[in-house]
Structure 1
Amino acid sequence: MNNDKEQTIYDFDFSLLCEYFSSIERQGPGSEEMTKLALSFIDGLTEDSKIADLGCGTGGQTATLAQNIKGRITALDLFPTFIDKLRNRFANLKLSDRVNGIVGSMDELPFSESEFDVIWCEGAIYNIGFKHGLEYWRKFIKTGGYVAVTEASWFTENRPEEIDKFWNEAYSEIDTIPNKVKQMQAAGYIPVATFILPEECWTDNFYTPQKGAQEIFLRNYPGNPTAENLIKYQRHEAELYSKYKQYYGYVFYIGKKISI
């Protein structure tokens, strides 16, 4: 790595990223329990409701949504490999009639205005930025509908330089929880609920499952510096979380669209 500026996840080959992250159950921190908790703050869903799961990955949280609510889900991700795995998952669950996986960009949604009762996004809004995502997605949500996203956030006003530098280079929009809530309000939503994802969402469900996947990945790409640097980056990120987890994490932000 460059000593002046650390690599970020964006610096790696997308085909390698896709292959690596498709080999694990979840492509970001989270859990079935936290998805269900977020759902508990959303009222009025029926079998006619429409939900969009943006940046769905291979469908870890999509499965929890489909198994705990009525209505139809459109799951969108940029990577065809993720969508193929998602479709296979829901075929096996016999839920393909209610979950439609499509390839697309969360920054160029192929939907109609006011089409959805809920837009859901776990661990992916950072790809286009929290503020822009909330503002852009709003027009696709019905008035009175909801947005529910997880976002990297600071838990404290001050933190050690090492972790501050790492995250500001990886995702410059990281901010404190009160500032994120203000951004949600400014984008035209009533903040309904905000809660921090517990540590096991990172350790047990995201970093620990990667350990075996990393060994397999490195065996598949012996001597490949790009693959080796990707794994080095993921291990470094996990080490930083273990060291500084009291200062940051993922936060669920749930908002209700109002007329403005």
Structure 2
Amino acid sequence: MDNDHTSIHEFDFDLICEYFSNLERQGPGSPEVTLKALSFISGLSGESHIADIGCGTGGQTMVLAQHAPGQITGIDLFPVFIDLFNHNAGKLNLQDRVKGVVGSMDKLPFQPETLDMIWSEGAIYNIGFERGLNEWRKFLKPGGYIAITEASWFTEERPDEIDAFWQDAYPGIDTIPNKLGQMQHAGYVPVASFILPENCWIEHFYVPQVSAQDAFRKKHAGNQTAKALIANQRHEAKLYIKYKAYYGYVFYVGRKL
């Protein structure tokens, strides 16, 4: 197995979960971009119901809860993430209105038209951007918002190396205009879109992994799969540094028609 070119999807879920549970964030982002996206959303109140889908350990959810009213439900497939999510909510005294539950994004535990907002940072790719937009729409009230980050191309053409990497990792990646078109076609009015700055990738995602990798390697000494997972993440970081002019995460905010 060529470690540098192994897709993240080929690793054991439990190992991936353990690795990323040691990080405050499970994907690129920052409190600043979460709040910037939130600034485009209006009409939330103490009666609002919000879902953070693919919430991980809740890095972005806690920022939301500290700056937006309403009840927030975090959904993630991995119980260890949800345990940490609820622990983090308790540390911030948010447990009365922020709760994490184990669940799948393709089988959400909500009734139709009961949510005022759906949030999802760095997670919709698991179900696919278009599919997620279409399937999640029914849970939003008329006029409800969706705010998601999605890997997107900044250019129409790019070097073969990075194109091949993303076609393997996530074939759903596309240009920003095409993503906005998909959002509109799914029944939303695009409200805003903006590119996440480099620090969301480097300072808030890749740099924190360095110390986490040291601890992970020591714990799994001699485990070739764990070693390959670390190599995979380091390779991904190098690719970002090399090709960041061609791709990144984009925050897309839309409103249900």
Question: Quick check: 2:154–2:246 contact (8 Å CA) kept in 1?
Answer: yes
Question: Quick check: 2:5–2:232 contact (8 Å CA) kept in 1?
Answer: no
Higher mean alpha-carbon deviation, 71-80 vs 6-15, is at 6-15
Match of 2:182 in 1: 183
Match of 2:71 in 1: 72
String of CA shifts for 1:53-107, please: whole Å, max 9, x gaps: 0000000000110000110000010000000001111111111001011000011
Q: Read off the aligned partner of 1:179 and give its amino acid letter.
A: N
Q: Read off the aligned partner of 1:178 and give its amino acid letter.
A: P
Q: Within 2, Cα distance between the matches of 1:111 and 1:8?
A: 32
State the secondary structure of the residue aligned to 2:131: helix
Q: Within 2, Cα distance between the matches of 1:216 and 1:92?
A: 24
What are the equivalent positions in structure 2 for 1:26-105 lying under 5 Å apart? 26-105=25-104
String of CA shifts for 1:202-235, please: whole Å, max 9, x gaps: 0000000000000110111111111011001000
State the secondary structure of the residue aligned to 1:73: strand
Match of 2:193 in 1: 194
State the secondary structure of the residue aligned to 1:70: coil
What are the equivalent positions in structure 2 for 1:83-232 lying under 5 Å apart? 83-232=82-231
Q: Read off the aligned partner of 1:46 and give its amino acid letter.
A: S
State the secondary structure of the residue aligned to 2:5: coil
Match of 1:257 in 2: 256
RMSD: 1.0
Which aligned runs of 4 or more in structure 1 are off by greater than 4 angstroms? none
State the secondary structure of the residue aligned to 2:107: coil
Q: Read off the aligned partner of 2:237 and give its amino acid letter.
A: A
Following superposition, the deviation at residue 6 of structure 1 comes to: 3.2
Question: Quick check: 1:194–1:251 contact (8 Å CA) kept in 2?
Answer: yes
Question: Quick check: 1:6–1:169 contact (8 Å CA) kept in 2?
Answer: no
State the secondary structure of the residue aligned to 1:181: helix
Q: Within 2, Cα distance between the matches of 1:232 and 1:6?
A: 9
Q: Within 2, Cα distance between the matches of 1:109 and 1:57?
A: 15
Q: Within 2, Cα distance between the matches of 1:171 and 1:56?
A: 19
Following superposition, the deviation at residue 119 of structure 1 comes to: 0.3
State the secondary structure of the residue aligned to 2:95: coil
Question: Quick check: 1:52–1:116 contact (8 Å CA) kept in 2?
Answer: yes
Identity of counterpart residues, as a percentage? Answer: 63
State the secondary structure of the residue aligned to 1:202: helix
Aligned length: 257
Q: Within 2, Cα distance between the matches of 1:114 and 1:30?
A: 28
Q: Read off the aligned partner of 2:44 and give its amino acid letter.
A: L
Q: Within 2, Cα distance between the matches of 1:126 and 1:241?
A: 18
State the secondary structure of the residue aligned to 1:94: coil
String of CA shifts for 1:149-172, please: whole Å, max 9, x gaps: 000000000110000000110000
Q: Within 2, Cα distance between the matches of 1:132 and 1:175?
A: 14
Question: Quick check: 1:72–1:98 contact (8 Å CA) kept in 2?
Answer: yes
Following superposition, the deviation at residue 2 of structure 1 comes to: 4.3
